[in-house]
A and B are shown apart, each in its own frame.
Chain A
Amino acid sequence: MDTTLRIFLGVGVLFYYVMLFFMLKKGRLILKYALLWLLAGLALAIFLIRPEVLYKTSDLIGVSNPVNAVFLLFAGITLLLVLSLTSIVSQFNKTNRQTIQKMALLEKRLRDLEDKQEARDGQESEKKPGEQTFG
């Protein structure tokens, strides 16, 4: 792999990790969801530090130019990441729906209770003022 490319990618990976770190620190990224991103960066870092790993990998998967193997692998990893995002969104969709339903049902119960209370208050005020009620 070309040295210039290695330096360029190395700076990129470093920048990427600094960004990830700050997002994690500020709580804008939950570690659970950041794990895949951390691993993706790690894979790239390994290729940069030990290019022979990359050469072996590209031989193994039948890509003649190792740099192309980097692109291919990262296209694959990106696909996986996006898929995992869709899966997370799907889960949110489900929990969100359940929350909305629960909330609407609670709101209905509250409304029913308020109506009952109002009816009871109305009955009580109809009674003579000053008259005491027991029970």
Chain B
Amino acid sequence: MTNILEIKGVNKTFGGLHALRDVNLEIYEGETHAIIGPNGAGKSTLLNCCIGKLIPDDGSVTFNGNNMIGVDAHDINHAGMVRVFQTPEIFPELSLLENVLIPALAKRDGTFKFNPFGDIFNEKEIREEAMATLAEFGLEGFSEDHAGSMSRGNKRRLELAMGLIQKPKLLLLDEPTAGMARLDTNNTIDLLKTGKMREMTKVIIEHDMHVVFSLADRISVLARGHIIATGSPEEIKNDPKVKEAYLGEGDHE
């Protein structure tokens, strides 16, 4: 197995709070890797250290053989590591189609391209691609509606579509089912399990054990900023340390 993402000895403190201590993690190409842990365990901090939102105090983050620490967020995106946010980060004033066009344009135009004389309505190829992606997520009927007027579930689906259209090498999903009803959660699981989403290398941060055990090939457990176990779902289920730190606390939801 080749490593696509390698996190070595990462520490991060906020004032007196030691959010991450000596985190080591390897993500294999093609796997779906879940990171679980109680609230405040440092899951989101770890993700933010990967995508350039936070800079770790020490340690290294290597993606596809390249150092990612201190690299601008937009360059990390172009390296192929794309994040889907916990609270939907969409463009509320734009239509759903435009929301998906933007990441597609990023993929095509790079970090900056001055093309004030193009016509967005004439970009056939990229529009078709965007419509197809919307259709994959069952959003094609809303393509002209404002993204801000969508339901929470549809916004999350749109987020996934925006991530997927960039064909990332690694997709980081921050609680893709947070705040969803059971039916929506199951729909999202199906989405992540089928089609192009299936083969994509994914890191999923998740609270919901149902989601984790239906999707993950491997699981890492984060507690108080430290990874206490990494392994297959079966191994994690039976790991006494994990039971004590996390599952034992009765959070089987």
To the question of whether A and B form a pair in one complex, the answer is no
A interface residues (Cβ-Cβ under 8 A, vs B): none
B interface residues (Cβ-Cβ under 8 A, vs A): none
